[in-house]
Amino acid sequence: MRPFYYILTFITGALLVYGASDMPKWGDPNSPASTHVSPRYIERVLEETEVPNMVTAILADYRGYDTLGETTVIFTAGIACILILRKRKKENNE
């Protein structure tokens, strides 16, 4: 069974390397990731909010609703961990 897993991993890696030939170069300032929304954030972050740190301003102000959902996810993970590992009370055999 082991050689089958190696071949499968190799084929997936080769397909991914072939798919990476379409991606932009590393460090390109004109890549599509850096030209649609983020210039608007970078240029206007100091005049709309008075906060110099762009990452915190985007996280807590422009996209604050996503951070609320993410805090709920953390809360749910903590609750799930408590619920899985609770000790059960011994049931009486009446």
Partner 1 sequence: MIELLLGKINYYIYIFLMMIGFYAMMGKKNLVKKLIGMNIFQWSIILFFVSLGAKKGGKIPIVEGVADHSAHIVSHAIEYVNPLPHVLMLTAIVVGVGTTGVALALLLMIYKKYKTLEEDEILRRMILPPSMWE
Partner 2 sequence: MIIKHESIIIKTIVRVLTPFIQIFALYVIMHGHSSPGGGFQGGVILGASYILLGLSFGMNEVKKRFSERLLMLFTSLGVFIYAGIGFLCLILGANFLDYGILPIAEPRGMGMLGVEIGVGITVMAVMLSIFHNLSAE
Pick from 85, 88, 89, 92 the residue near partner 2 by CB under 8 A. 85
Cα distance between the two ends of the chain: 52
Distances (CA, A) of 91 to 4, 13, 83: 49, 53, 18
Min CB(60)–partner 1 separation in Å: 10
Nearer to partner 2, 13 or 64 (CB): 64
What residue 87 binds from partner 2, partner 1, none (CB within 5 to 8 A, per partner kind)?
Answer: partner 2
Return the amino acid letter for 83.
L
Tell me the torsion sign for CA atoms 58, 59, 60, 62: positive
Report d(CA 82, CA 85) in Å as an integer: 6
What residue ranges bind partner 1 (CB under 8 A)?
2, 5-6, 8-10, 12-13, 16-17, 20-21, 23, 25-29, 31, 33-34, 37-39, 41-43, 45-46, 52-55, 58-59, 63, 66-67, 70, 73-74, 76-78, 80-81, 84-85
